[in-house]
Amino acid sequence: VGGPCGGRPGSPPPRRAARGGAPPPRAPAEGFLPEEIAERVRTQQLDDSHRRVSLRGYQAFGARFVLAQRKVILGDEMGLGKTIQAIAVLAHLAAEGQSHFMVVCPASVLVNWTREIEARSALRVTVLHGPDRHYAFADWKGRGGVGVTTFDALRGFPAPGGGEVGLLVVDEAHSVKNPKTKRSQSVALWTERCERTLFMTGTPMENRVAEFRNLVQMLDGGVADSLGERDALAGSVAFRKAVAPVYLRRNQEDVLTELPSLQQTDEWEQLSASDEEAYREAVRAGNFMAMRRAAYLRPEKSAKLDRLREIVQEAAENGQKTVVFSHFKDVLGVVKAALAVGPTAGTPMLGPLTGSIPAGRRQQIVDDFAGVSGPAVLLAQIQAAGVGLNMQAASVVIICEPQIKPTIEHQAVARAHRMGQVRPVHVHRLLATGGVDERMVKMLEKKTRLFDAYARRSAVAEATPDAVDVSDTELARRIVEEEQARLGMTNARPPTSG
């Protein structure tokens, strides 16, 4: 599966850009950079010997841009694979002999970064987070590789000496747009000490020139000083020209021909202490369904909910509509309440669309969702919305927990990813590490392979989803017993599916 910002691996190899002549066809994929900068980027070498994933043409250009320009912001729209491009840069620099790298990101994507680097490259990864982070930092300093940490943890580490860190990657860089905050000051100090820095954000920064200037100031004071409000007011062409040395952004429309029509990302989250406590209570009670939704029981400290809000907010800022699926009505209620406050409060919300709503009314809700001008969120119970409704207004799909039957998930995604959809659909599956989600994913991989083989042979696969499903009761019982054993709960209650 793909990373926090990317599609599945196995992409076509990079296309060699044609030399000479007018470049209109490639201009969008190259972010409409001035020819002088674009040419320098095209001639930049890109070593793939430490990389385990191929790049699309625009992704290879993005990685070369980072290498050629040294301190930059990669502002590609959500779903274009910013993480993959960052890993390509890390792998290239490692091949050149650089030994130490640092990735700084929100806690919500820390696990994803770790898994992505391990899966997509040959680089060593050290997580610099939690109570043992200072021991881990000492280990990283001694042995090298990629350190992955959070904004708050970074403040507790000594800034490197000049030339010590080959690349600093700052994910969700709009989080450090306010220079008065401690996290921004810490990132600014590290940026100053690193020869190369990559800021990543899917938020369209050109709409916020003052905040954007603050980010650019950390990377290139000269460009920041030359960037006035008039650049934004003069139109996007003037703005892009002014920031070209440090900023590359491509929208999906710019690279549509290179994108797969369906991109799927597994969003792995580390449960918060509060989540973990709720989860242990559910395991002790032997309640499989409570285990599946434990990550949402305490919304004020929910790791999955934090990530869900980030995805919805970024989709909204890029003008995209989002469908949120869950098996559980109460989870949808929690999501609705969470999205109604904070940065996502202004985004129109429809639903939840549940099994108790008559079929005709369900279609009306979907039509209303499609009729909203601009971004919107539709909440839907996955088994109620999976059949018969067309949701192609949505280009972002969030699945709150893994489903017992792969066919249910397949059918739900097909509601958005179907004829009439003009944008690629990006599916985010929210998964928690180390518990019921991880066990289900492993067990369901086998069921999905069976389903895929069956679907290829039979035109009636969607009409008979139960044909390839093993007993759900047996699966639930096995997972509960394994989790009770893993957590050392000898006096726990026997498994129930309720």
- For residue 324, give the H/E element and its range: strand 322-326
260-486 shares the fold of 35-256: yes
Residue 463 is predicted with a pLDDT of: 46
Residue 22 is predicted with a pLDDT of: 37
Residue 7 is predicted with a pLDDT of: 38
Taking residues 439-447, report their average pLDDT: 83
Q: Are 73 and 205 in contact (CB under 8 A)?
A: yes
Domain 35-256 has CATH 3.40.50.10810: yes
Residue 304 backbone dihedrals phi, psi, to 5 degrees: -65, -40
> How does residue 3 score in pLDDT terms, banded at 50, 70 and 90?
very low
Residue 472 is predicted with a pLDDT of: 76
* CA-based nearest residue to 95, from 164, 43, 141, 49: 49
User: In this predicted model, what pLDDT tens digit does every residue of 202-218 receive, in sequence order?
Assistant: 988 777 788 899 999 99
Please state, in angstroms and rounded to a whole number, the distance separating the CA atoms of residues 236 and 254: 15
Is the four-CA dihedral 409, 82, 169, 224 of positive or negative sign? negative
Residue 62 is predicted with a pLDDT of: 97
Q: Which residue would you say has higher pLDDT here, 197 or 226?
A: 197
> How does residue 2 score in pLDDT terms, banded at 50, 70 and 90?
very low
Q: Where are the alpha helices (DSSP H) in 11-76?
A: 35-42, 57-69
**pLDDT surpassing 60 at residue 14:** no
- For residue 100, give the H/E element and its range: strand 100-105
**pLDDT surpassing 70 at residue 387:** no
Residue boundaries of the structural domains of the chain: 35-256, 260-486
Q: Which residue would you say has higher pLDDT here, 231 or 36?
A: 36
Residue 492 is predicted with a pLDDT of: 77
Q: Which residue would you say has higher pLDDT here, 194 or 241?
A: 194
- How much is the pTM? 0.82
- What topology does CATH give the domain 260-486? Rossmann fold (3.40.50)
User: In this predicted model, what pLDDT tens digit does every residue of 26-68 receive, in sequence order?
Assistant: 788 999 899 999 999 999 999 999 999 999 999 999 999 999 9
> How does residue 298 score in pLDDT terms, banded at 50, 70 and 90?
very high
**pLDDT surpassing 90 at residue 227:** no
Taking residues 96-102, report their average pLDDT: 97
Please state, in angstroms and rounded to a whole number, the distance separating the CA atoms of residues 94 and 318: 34
**pLDDT surpassing 50 at residue 303:** yes
Q: Residue 179 to residues 120, 176, 182, 197, 494: CA-CA distances in angstroms?
A: 33, 7, 8, 17, 54
* CA-based nearest residue to 149, from 196, 95, 202, 186: 186
Amino acid letter at 128? L
Please state, in angstroms and rounded to a whole number, the distance separating the CA atoms of residues 20 and 3: 35
Please state, in angstroms and rounded to a whole number, the distance separating the CA atoms of residues 62 and 254: 13
- Strand segments, DSSP code E, in 164-216 are 167-170, 197-200
User: In this predicted model, what pLDDT tens digit does every residue of 334-382 receive, in sequence order?
Assistant: 999 999 999 999 999 999 999 899 878 888 999 999 999 999 999 999 9
